[in-house]
Amino acid sequence: MLLRALIFLLCLIVGGLTGWWANKQFLFDDGLGVGVALGGVIWFLMDAVGAVRVLAYLRVIGSNEPRGIWGIWNEVFSRSRRLLRDRDRLLAESQRRLQDFLSAFQVSPNGVVLLDSQSRIEWCNQTATHHFGIMAQRDLAQVIGNLVRDPGFIAYLSSRDYQRSVTMPGRETSSSRPVLLSVQLHPYGDGRTLLLSRDITALEQADAMRRDFVANVSHEIRTPLTVLAGFIETLQTLELADSERQHYLGLMAQQSTRMQTLVNDLLTLSRLEGSPAPDLSCWISLTQLIAQIRQDAMSLSTMITAEQRSPHKLIFDESCDVELAGNLSELLSAMSNLVSNAIRYTPAGQVITVSTSLTSGGGLVFSVTDTGPGIAPEHLGRLTERFYRVDRSRSRETGGTGLGLAIVKHVTQRHAATLTLESTLGKGSMFRIDFPQERVRVVN
């Protein structure tokens, strides 16, 4: 301000001196006053030019910097430019942080949708597009209720009571593969809402499996216990002949064996799920493993077909002499389960082939092929579920617990192997385990 006042006074003095000199030279009347006034006008014009240039720069941010400004307008320009630069820096920082937040939401496993006060879509991540079938660009500014037409969600959206979540089917749900979403709205800001969606299909399936597991275990144990209780009551209350007593005791022993087998299978599954996977330090002879499986298979076949006097035709094709890295008891359990299943479900006199072969990549294939009744395609995907049976009555007759293939699946996974199931109704089935090359060693 001092410089501005000094320049103003200087203009007045120069103008006054110029007018006084003109008065002396040309005898102008009141030349001093005219000179002072002219000096004030010149100062005003110079000051106005500076103001106009600064205002022009401020009106069009980013235009060329004004030149020829001085005094207070130069200071106004400098301070304004500094404030604008600070604003631009803060704006850029805010934009960067906003993009960071949006990027974090974008990779979230949960669906995220930002809605305005009218429930119109402002932004959504990729997961939400899969959950609801919306598109990030096409559906911006669209009302979410017009795009997601599930009645439960519409009622939830209209209720304005967002203390709880609502469950609804996902866009990709189907009769063969149901998809369930948990959706909840969270109010924020000026009437806006944050919509979060979570795929709970796996959780619901796990909960259903847990309920089914408890129900199946209870049923499997209750049945033999009921039989045992009935026989015990009979033995306690009735006078029986020795032959009848021995018959009942035999049936009781059979039921107790069934319960013991079930408990052993449950303990095996629990141990498989709770222990670390076998490493590559323990090598097992495949020849000795197959020999044990053959012995158990022949005993089981003889026991099952004793009354029919027509045992199964068991063919063991041992074309390779190798060693497997893994746990002996687990491998024996898995392979024996496949063979025993083939024996239990294949009619007497039919052929069951157990073979081993090396792949071109150095891996090992263990397969069991039977000529039994086969399995319908709709059952193949569920055979490894616990207690799942294609024919429950026949499974009871053959003495199966419904846990054998579940054990096989866990053992193959723990040995980095894969289990393949193929079957044709009326022709038979093939169960195959493929061991990777790192778990196979050729014996020299």
| Rounded Cα distance, 372 and 386, in Å | 22
pLDDT of the residue at 115: 92
Give the residue-averaged pLDDT of 258-282.
81
In the structure, what pLDDT confidence band is assigned to residue 387 with cuts at 50, 70 and 90? confident
Q: For residue 395, is pLDDT > 60?
A: no
Q: Is 208 helix (H, G, I), strand (E, B) or coil?
A: helix
What pLDDT score was predicted for residue 105?
82
Domain boundaries, given as residue ranges, for the chain: 2-101, 107-199, 206-275, 277-442
Beta-sheet pairing, 192-199 with 111-115: antiparallel
What is the pLDDT averaged over residues 307-336? 83
The whole-chain average pLDDT of the chain stands at 81
Domain 206-275: give its CATH code: 1.10.287.130
Angle in degrees, CA 282, 402, 419, rounded to 5: 45
- Using the predicted structure, report yes or no on whether residue 241 has a pLDDT greater than 60: yes
Long-range Cβ contacts of 177-181 (<8 Å, 24+ apart): 180/204, 181/111, 181/131
Q: How far is CA 111 from the centre of its chain?
A: 12
Reported as a single tens digit per residue, the pLDDT across 215-228 is: 777 777 887 888 88
Specify the pLDDT at position 385.
Answer: 80
pTM over 0.75, yes/no: no
pLDDT at res. 204: 83
pLDDT band at 19 (very low <50, low <70, confident <90, very high): low
Of 293, 362, 342, 286, the closest CA to residue 319 belongs to 286
Q: For position 35, what pLDDT does the model report?
A: 61
d(CA 385, CA 390): 11
Topology of 107-199 in CATH? Answer: Beta-Lactamase (3.30.450)
140 vs 275, which has greater pLDDT? 140
Q: Phi and psi dihedrals of 428, rounded to 5?
A: 130, -175
Task: Annotate 248-271 with b (16+ C-beta within 10 A) or e (fewer).
Answer: beeebeebeebbeebeebbebeee
pLDDT digits (tens, 9 = 90+) for 169-208: 988 877 767 889 999 999 988 889 999 999 998 888 778 7
Output the six-digit token pair for 370: 């039977």
**How many helices (H) and strands (E) would you count in the chain?**
13, 13
CATH architecture of 277-442: 2-Layer Sandwich (3.30)
* Token output for 331: 């491998």
Report helix, strand or coil for 421: strand
What are the pLDDT digits (tens) for 63-77? 566 665 656 666 676
Report pLDDT digits (tens) over 86-131.
888 888 888 888 888 888 888 888 999 999 999 999 989 988 988 9
**Residue 6: pLDDT band by 50, 70, 90 thresholds?**
low
Percentage of residues in the chain with pLDDT exceeding 90? 17
pLDDT in tens, 245-261: 888 888 888 888 888 87
- Average pLDDT, integer, range 348-361: 88
